[in-house]
Amino acid sequence: MQVTYTTSTVDSSEYKRLICGRTDDLAKLIDYISQGRSIALFGERRIGKSSLLYLLRDIINNQINNYSKYLIDLSLKNAVQSLSSKVSNHKAIYLDLQALDKRDSEAFMQLINNKFKDNSLLYNLQKSNNTSTNLTITDFFQLVNNQLNNNDKLVILIDEVELLLHFSDSKQVFINLRSVIQSCPKICFVIAGADSWHKEIKDETSPIVNNVITFYLKAAARFSIENYLIKEPLDNYIFGIEIDIITRTILEWTECKPWYVQAVCQVIVEINTKYGQLQKNWQAEVVKEVEASVETTLDTFYSSDNPDNISPKILVLLANKPGLTVKEISCMLAHSEKKIGNKISDLESLDKVRKEGSKYRIVGSIIEKWGQKNKDIDFVINRRFQLLTIFFKWAPVVLFLLLAAITCFYANSPLLTSSCKFSNGELLVQMPSSLEDGEIGAGKISVQNTSKNKLSTVNITFISENIIYEYKESNLIEFNSVKSNETKRLKLNFTAKPIKLGKIYNSQVKISDAAAKPLNTCFFNISVRAIPIKKYWSLISLLFVTISGFFAKPDLLQLITNLISGLFKSQGDNKSEGKS
């Protein structure tokens, strides 16, 4: 079956024959109408409210018989006769408020009056001055109600009710409609709108709130969309790619929202016609073309369709971060869970978002992906939350890097300088400020001749119970021929031994030279490291850096590389000092 896809919603047989997946919705609405109930119909923009009202009017007025044999949805085609029989005594009139010249009650009455005069399916009103637009809404419909035969009923289908909400005397108009619903049993209304209309009814700010039943129009039935609107028609156009693959892709992108299905199918047909077949990267090209063609509707989905400033933020947030809970959303937007829960419930009712477990996502990946690319999350998330997020993201990174640095510093304590003066000069001893059992390293010692005479010999002996000092396999160091004001330096190897009692390594230095009488003696102390980590500090530091890397994954490789190169450099320096 050849199908010409379109994203233009028009009241024509060519368009209406393509409406799919609405048989159950029509059946429920017709049941309500047959009971004389008035209905508040809600749905997101482009979900198919106008299309549904077209079919509803045509079924009630038997106009659908003019094109029922061309309907592509077989379930609807087979149900037309049964649906019509339930409202055989009804007549319907469709009012599209987009046709209003002005936004006031006078223009509204003019539209109603013109529709009644032009629609041959309705009863002719008696020609009198009472039929003028000067009549109130209540008086006009009471007149209509009184002229209907006993078994006859009238259904008024009002589309784009948001325009009526913007009238200067909007409240009075709805008060009059309430009066009609209450006083005219032969007349009922189906009033269709999107977010603002839903808010009026849910918040009970509309005067007709207790006089209508609510009906939510959501995505269409999958079976009909899949088989009648996608698979069967496209199979006549597409070659080279399995139709099942294309069908699954479209269903994933649109989740059976008919207008978006037609938009995607239309682009697929155009691309296939242009190249003779779909290319290997057809998905990317189709998405690009679809986004360009329906950009205004996609933007409206995230912004102007929503009557408050919270719902758009929720949608932008879910587009960029799908799978958030109410608690997570409330935290990011800095609103109470109760308020967020209320708003997201509205979005769920309108089928803009769906709940999976306790998490929410936008319905239709093509809508979600467009939001990711075009809606900046930074303008949505509360500034305080952003700062807290940055803090909690980087605080662990900084903490573990700091621990790595502290470990390195602790295990490789800085050199502490001790001074020991003697009659002709000064000895400076540089040793680590802390040591632990088994630690091997090298200290630095220097002798300076402060006298005016040359020192032929300076002997220095290091004595300690817990530290082995070695210079050329001896604890005795001899400096020869130290000139006046000259300083001589060398490295002294050491090995720390365990301390049974106390927390101090005690060391003694004895100094003698040719003129020193008696022998000069000095003492210096080195603290014991409370936590012995010298052997393992590099591994511990590496562990801390690795942990920090898991909190900052993009920088993990660079962090580890820098640490390893630093470790090798540090250990190489220690070995060279030990050999000196």
Give yes or no for a contact between 459 and 424, defined as CB atoms under 8 angstroms apart. Answer: no
pLDDT of residue 387: 66
In this predicted structure, the answer to whether residue 578 has a pLDDT above a threshold of 60 is no
Report d(CA 467, CA 430) in Å as an integer: 14
Q: Encode pLDDT of 15-68 as tens digits.
A: 999 999 999 999 999 999 999 999 999 999 999 999 999 999 999 999 999 999
Report d(CA 139, CA 143) in Å as an integer: 6
pLDDT of residue 390: 64
- pLDDT class of 222 with cuts at 50, 70, 90: very high
In this predicted structure, the answer to whether residue 573 has a pLDDT above a threshold of 70 is no
H-helix or E-strand containing 191?
strand 187-193
pLDDT of residue 470: 93
3-class SS of residue 332: helix
Number of H helices, E strands in the chain: 22, 17
Report d(CA 468, CA 346) in Å as an integer: 79
- pLDDT class of 493 with cuts at 50, 70, 90: very high
Q: Encode pLDDT of 89-132 as tens digits.
A: 999 999 999 888 888 888 898 888 888 887 654 555 545 444 55
Report d(CA 428, CA 447) in Å as an integer: 7
Report d(CA 218, CA 349) in Å as an integer: 8
CATH for 13-216 is: 3.40.50.300
Q: Encode pLDDT of 411-423 as tens digits.
A: 999 999 999 998 8
How large a percentage of the chain has pLDDT more than 90? 65
Over its C-alpha atoms, the chain yields an Rg (Å, rounded) of 43
Query: Mean of the pLDDT values across residues 505-521?
Result: 81
Residues 6+ apart with CB under 8 A from 138: 176, 179, 180, 183
Report d(CA 168, CA 528) in Å as an integer: 86
According to DSSP, the residues that pair with 324 across neighbouring strands are: 360
Give yes or no for a contact between 301 and 352, defined as CB atoms under 8 angstroms apart. Answer: yes
Give yes or no for a contact between 21 and 55, defined as CB atoms under 8 angstroms apart. Answer: no
Report d(CA 213, CA 31) in Å as an integer: 12
Report d(CA 179, CA 556) in Å as an integer: 70
Query: Mean of the pLDDT values across residues 318-336?
Result: 91
In this predicted structure, the answer to whether residue 434 has a pLDDT above a threshold of 80 is yes
pLDDT of residue 147: 86
**Higher model confidence: residue 397 or residue 154?**
154
3-class SS of residue 463: strand
Give yes or no for a contact between 541 and 471, defined as CB atoms under 8 angstroms apart. Answer: no
Which among 173, 179, 180 has a CA at the least distance from the CA of 156? 180
pLDDT of residue 579: 45
Q: Encode pLDDT of 201-218 as tens digits.
A: 999 999 999 999 999 999
In this predicted structure, the answer to whether residue 576 has a pLDDT above a threshold of 50 is no
**Higher model confidence: residue 123 or residue 160?**
160
Tell me which residue has tokens 């604890």.
475
pLDDT of residue 129: 45
H-helix or E-strand containing 478?
strand 476-482
Pull the structure tokens for residue 273.
Answer: 């016609």
- pLDDT class of 307 with cuts at 50, 70, 90: low
Long-range contacts made by residues 163-170, C-beta under 8 angstroms, separation at least 24? 163/97, 163/98, 163/100, 163/103, 164/97, 164/108, 165/193, 165/196, 165/197, 165/200, 166/103, 167/103, 167/104, 167/105, 167/108, 168/103, 168/104, 169/104, 169/105
Amino acid found at 7: T
Q: What is the mean pLDDT of the chain?
A: 88
Q: Give the β-pairing of 440-449 and 487-496.
A: antiparallel
Maximum alpha-carbon separation in the chain: 142
In this predicted structure, the answer to whether residue 248 has a pLDDT above a threshold of 50 is yes
Report d(CA 29, CA 361) in Å as an integer: 29
Within 10 Å of residue 550's Cβ, how many Cβ atoms?
Answer: 11
Second-level CATH architecture of 415-528: Sandwich (2.60)
pLDDT of residue 149: 86
Second-level CATH architecture of 299-381: Orthogonal Bundle (1.10)
Amino acid found at 123: Y
pLDDT of residue 396: 86
Length of the chain equals 580
| Beta strand ranges found along 227-386 (DSSP E) | 353-356, 359-362
Give yes or no for a contact between 51 and 6, defined as CB atoms under 8 angstroms apart. Answer: no
In this predicted structure, the answer to whether residue 157 has a pLDDT above a threshold of 60 is yes
pLDDT of residue 580: 40
Amino acid found at 471: Y
Q: Quote the distance between the C-alpha of residue 520 and its chain's center.
A: 76
**Higher model confidence: residue 555 or residue 382?**
382
Report d(CA 116, CA 141) in Å as an integer: 11
- pLDDT class of 261 with cuts at 50, 70, 90: very high
Least reliable range by pLDDT among 120-129, 376-385, 452-461, 512-521: 120-129
**Higher model confidence: residue 480 or residue 516?**
480
pTM tops 0.75: no
Tell me which residue has tokens 């009012």.
95
Report d(CA 83, CA 75) in Å as an integer: 12
